[in-house]
Copies of this chain bind each other. A is one copy, B any other.
Amino acid sequence: MSKTQNKASNGSVTTIPESEYKVKDMSLADWGRKEIELAEVEMPGLMATREEFGPQKPFQGARIMGSLHMTIQTAVLIETLKELGGDIRWCSCNIFSTQDHAAAAVVAQGSASVFAWKGETVEEYWWCTNRALQWPDGEGPDLIVDDGGDATLLIHEGFKAEEVYAKNKSLPDPSSTENREFRAVLSIIAESIQKDPQRFHRIAQRLVGVSEETTTGVHRLIERAREGSLLFPAINVNDSVTKSKFDNIYGCRHSLPDGIMRATDVMIAGKKAVICGYGDVGKGCAQAMKAAGARTVITEVDPICALQACMEGYEVVLLDDVVSDADIFITTTGNKDIIMASHMAKMKNNAIVGNIGHFDNEIDMAGLEKYPGIKKVNIKPQVDRFVFPDGHGIIMLAEGRLLNLGCATGHPSFVMSCSFTNQAMAQLELWNNRKTGKYQKNVYVLPKKLDEKVARLHLGKLGAKLTKLSPEQAEYIGISQDGPYKPDTYRY
């Protein structure tokens, strides 16, 4: 059996047996490794984490499972967790977002067992998630890095189904749901229970905690905590300032035009762009479109965000009022049913439609595909032209899924370094407190001091020099010289 080797800095050699990973093509590993090495230079927070904690191997003995886009940047996170002593398994949280060369490189280095490739089916996706949750001894992880909450969901649904099964031996029935995705989840669970009816209970019991990357995942966790059904502690990484005010804003400001340009080569200058939503993602997107010379307008439901848009010089409009005028439509809301098939039916020929919010129901893909007489012409991967019976077409990016991941390479390394350093901090917090009782079955944010630390680790790379408060100044405003510098309610 061929094996891959880990020549990590600790000198040890790890090999991953072929049964313990599934990626597209191991021959991409060299290219992936070169890109990982470039990315490391752009991810100073993770590299500083390796330097500070690597020698102590704080994760010695910790099993870490990740469900998060298997990209080059994630590879740097994985290898940071590895460097700190972790034993790691990974899957992607999106069927399209895996970069196959990144996955191959991680496996080749022996850094983690990876189950991910670009273009999984929904069934394959959940198979991967399940495999990543199961160590060779059949048991689960101590820690989870989650993005969107799918790993967490599988455990909770599995746990629930095991309880039902324990009561009355009934198994979950995949055919009970129309939803293809949920059907796949139920199949996996049914199979699991038949083999091992307490597996998810043991997983839940073992788990020290999860750190969650996104708004959507956090939303689900808070719901569970409210209901009292959350099975383990959770740290909300999404609401670290160095995540939400950086990744969301500046990541999207970079990756929205990147995605549009790679997908369409269309000149943005002079066009009319509609950004649906003016939250953090929308703010970054609008800034990017305006900077590129587009006449940019906003739709919003929240009057405060709408007023912010006004102050920045955007017109705040109703989608219905501009649908026939605009050239580019981008959803950033995190809600559903924002751009409907009926809207697209009224758009100009070759209007570009894309989503950088969350799920592919922000744009009514279902309605579009069922639109009477519609024709779908594939231009190139992740770029389709839907032609309406009247002859006009619209250009749909990434099938309505996150266009920056689908049509470009997602957020750039530097901003992901902020997010992922928070992840590393969160994992350390959970693991170091596994016996202190600090974290209960609830949802927590990282203390502001760690948030400030993450920022601090990223300043040197940019040549920024931080002013130091004098003791007198610190006293004058009633804070410590070393921070935290702001009250928890501060909005940045």
Chain A residues with CB under 8 Å of chain B are 31, 34-35, 38, 41-42, 72, 219, 223, 239, 241-242, 244-246, 249-250, 253-254, 257-258, 261-262, 264-272, 280, 290-296, 299-319, 321, 325, 334-337, 349-350, 377, 379-380, 385, 395, 408-409, 411-415, 418, 451-453, 455-456, 458-459, 461-470, 472-473, 476-478, 483, 485-486, 489, 491-492
Contact = CB atoms under 8 A, between A and B. Distances in A.
B350 A41 contact: yes
12 contacts: A41-B350, A42-B266, A245-B491, A254-B292, A258-B261, A261-B412, A262-B262, A291-B291, A295-B315, A299-B467, A310-B459, A317-B464
Contacts of A465: 316-318, 321
A326 to B, nearest CB: 9
A244 B478 contact: no
B293 A452 contact: no
Contacts of A250: 267, 269, 293, 311
Contacts of A418: 307
B304 A377 contact: no
Give how many copies assemble into the complex. 4
B325 A463 contact: yes
Contacts of A334: 477
Contacts of A464: 306-307, 309-310, 315-317
A360 B476 CA distance: 14
B306 A466 contact: yes
B467 A300 contact: yes
Given A269-B310, A280-B491, A307-B459, 9 more contacts: A249-B311, A270-B310, A301-B469, A305-B492, A307-B458, A321-B465, A325-B463, A337-B470, A489-B489
Contacts of A409: 265
A245 to B, nearest CB: 6
A121 to B, nearest CB: 25
A485 B318 CA distance: 18
Given A335-B477, A412-B266, A241 B304 contact: yes
A413 B254 contact: no
A414 B466 contact: no
B219 A478 contact: yes
A293 B308 contact: no
Given A312-B293, A456-B303, A265 B412 contact: yes
Nearest 7 pairs of A and B residues by beta carbon: A291-B291, A267-B412, A316-B464, A303-B455, A267-B414, A303-B456, A302-B485
A296 B313 contact: yes
A349 B41 contact: yes
Nearest to A481: B301
A38 B394 CA distance: 11
